[in-house]
Amino acid sequence: MDYSITLPVEDIPPALPSKPTRFLDQFRLYMRTDGKSYSTEKTYVYWARFFINYSGKAHPTTLGTAAVRDFLTFLATQRNVSSSTQKTALNALAYLYNQFLKQPLGDIGFRYAKKPPRIPTVFSHEEAKRVIAELKYPSKLMAQLMYGSGLRISEAIRLRVKDIDFEQGYIVIRNGKGNKDRTTLLPKLAVDELKVQIGTVEKLLEDDIHNGVNPVYLPNALARKYPNYGRELAWQYVFPSQVLPVDPRAGVERRHHIHRYTVQRHIHDAIRKAKIHKQASSHTFRHSFATRLLYKGFDLHKIQQLMGHSDISTTQIYLHVLDEIGNWVTSPVDDD
């Protein structure tokens, strides 16, 4: 995908009327007032819309527990979704009814689909290096951070200059999954290239200021409280877009971060060029980060913190990966 292609901005919440009349807009406004992340907002609205359409576009206030149970059964029997997907759908609808509509669902009496947890695909260390070697900057640097720091692609593209602490050797992830902040490792291998990249960002910022480009997007109410922050280097994205997309909330062009689809496509092509025939993607770097640390003997709870997992059971899935790739057993055909 070419950098010159203008893609829609994906992580700036669109503006809403102060008194919305559409049901889903009212739901969105409630979630923003309640402090939900934009990622959660999009997910919950998706499932609310899906539920409404499934129910013949009936208004949710006319539906209830039986309709929700029927919908979850449909997801399991007709759509063959995983139990985690069912739980996400139920969480969205439970929030819709229990919190927004104030119509508690009570005991739904639903049994989740039981499917074994899927073992994540991981790169070996050599495979990861081969894929990274096939990439060009800035995608190469982002891949190094995904593998070396355990970043999700959404976290890599949203990094701002202020989030990298070169002196202390760590990266701060702001508003990660679950709207949580965390710190993770800053790979020494990436330090020099990151400093070069930030120098490039600084030059781009100078050009944007000279050309009258609008300041960078600031979250929450920061733009109103501190209007000059948007023109400070600290708040610029480490990986800016080469085009100026339109901010859906303000309706103006401004410098945003590179789009995830651009990076995903570059990594997909690099995996193919590296002749790695696995069901791999950009997220495989994050899985490989956790598995590599376990392989080197890192404490599971420390890895949980670095990955930003709220539940240790999520981190424990990588123990199964080690069981799969461990060298504690050999095939009989390889015996002397």
Residues with catalytic function: 152, 177, 283, 286, 309, 318
Amino acid at 35: G
Which burial class, exposed, middle or buried, applies to 217 when counting CB atoms under 10 A from its CB (0-12, 13-18, 19+)?
A: buried
Q: What is the CA radius of gyration of the chain?
A: 22
Cβ contact 219:247 at 8 Å: no
- The count of other CB atoms within 10 Å of the CB of residue 207 is 11
Amino acid at 196: V
**In terms of Cα–Cα distance, which of 269, 273, 261, 312 is closest to 290?**
312
| 3-state DSSP helix/strand/coil % of the chain, to nearest 5 | 50, 5, 45
**In terms of Cα–Cα distance, which of 240, 177, 152 is closest to 38?**
177
Residues 15, 21, 24, 28, CA torsion sign: positive
Helix pair angle (65-77, 83-94), 10° resolution: 160
Show Cβ contacts of residue 298 under 8 Å, excluding neighbours closer than 6 positions: none
